[in-house]
Amino acid sequence: MTNTQETSLPIIAITSGEPAGIGPDIILSALSEQSFDARLIVLADPNLLKERAQTLGLSPTIQILSHSTDAKPHQQGVISVLPIYMGTETVAGTLNVKNSPYVLETLKQAGAGCLEQAFDAIVTPPVHKGILCDTGVHFSGHTEFFQAQCRSPHVVMMLATEAMKVALVTTHMPLKDVADAITEQNIRLVVRALYKDLQEKFGIERPKILVCGLNPHAGEDGHLGKEEIHVITPTLNALRAEGMNLIGPLPADTLFTRKYLDNADCALAMYHDQGLPVLKYSGFGNAVNITLGLPIIRTSVDHGTAIDLAGTGKANNGSLKVAIQHAINMANNAKKFST
């Protein structure tokens, strides 16, 4: 590979996640098992990776970098690290609040690196929200962290597998509050962000989006709820007038069938448990969580820290591999779109 080819490869930052969880395990195993067509940089304490590799019986080559531009194309078994050091030692499976500042620093540097264009995308293994909040810092999730860091007014949560993509109008809220959150403004913000990123980061020239209704049977002409008539349909019609290819509102129990999914690029669900159970049933462990609406690219795994599996060698790295590959694809598409 020539120097020009090497420097054209995207630089993907991978944070290390909760050090007592399976984040280090899945990074070590995934990057040891296969190569990726990108320059991968792990933001982590190299001593953590070396100790966890020894525990897992792995022997990768750990390369310490001084700058992102020093990264070479990823090779199987070689892990390039931009070092960020922990304040105290970590024991696999044992949470330690003293390491929370380290976790937050990895996220901060990853986000700043993307904003400064030192990185082309971020991939995040899982963190433990509780232990981070125990420091006195309110941490509700990666999405909100990067939204605040990027000063983005509105973000969209999407999960994707090879078979489907599902985005959400509302995310983590009680079901009793969902109907009030299905407003013209929220739908407009979500659909516009979703449509834009499907074009720019997924390379889909004219995305076709299936939109769920809120109520059973999409309201049954107002007999099972009127949100479709008064809010969802008029908003979709206005967005269609802007040139967007939107189908719906459709009943969720029929939208998530091959008849519709095989002929669309993404589904938009009104609330968390309307769309994600279907996606996770079809591909849990090999799905990726993607934050849209940011000026940067961020993907993540579809699972938690699995503290009980840390250091056992039993953690599944499938979702991390998919998250890395999606980040690479999205970074390449974004570069093409901008040229």
pLDDT tens digit sequence for 262-315: 999 999 999 999 999 999 888 877 889 999 999 999 999 988 999 999 999 999
pLDDT at 339 over 80: no
Shared domain for 128 and 199, answered yes or no, is no
Shared domain for 142 and 158, answered yes or no, is no
Mean pLDDT of 19-45: 96
Report the CATH number at residue 62: 3.40.718.10
> Where is the domain boundary, 291, 312, 327?
291
Shared domain for 122 and 214, answered yes or no, is no
Shared domain for 275 and 240, answered yes or no, is yes
Shared domain for 32 and 139, answered yes or no, is yes
CA distance 99 to 88: 7
CA distance 231 to 228: 6
- The count of domains in the chain is 2
If we measure between CA atoms, which residue out of 48, 14, 32 comes closest to residue 311?
48
Q: What is the pLDDT of residue 270?
A: 97
Q: What is the number of other CB atoms lying within 10 angstroms of the CB of residue 185?
A: 9
- Average predicted confidence (pLDDT) for the chain: 93
pLDDT tens track for 118-131 = 999 999 999 998 88
In 52-173, which ranges are E strands?
61-64, 78-83, 121-124, 156-160, 165-168
Confidence of residue 139 (pLDDT cuts 50, 70, 90): confident
Shared domain for 107 and 189, answered yes or no, is no
Shared domain for 9 and 98, answered yes or no, is yes
Shared domain for 329 and 207, answered yes or no, is no
Name 191's Cβ contacts closer than 8 Å, sequence gap at least 6: 209, 211, 235, 236, 239, 244, 246, 268
Shared domain for 235 and 143, answered yes or no, is no
Domain span holding position 334: 1-152+294-339
Shared domain for 175 and 282, answered yes or no, is yes
Shared domain for 298 and 255, answered yes or no, is no
Shared domain for 67 and 172, answered yes or no, is no
> Where is the domain boundary, 291, 308, 327?
291
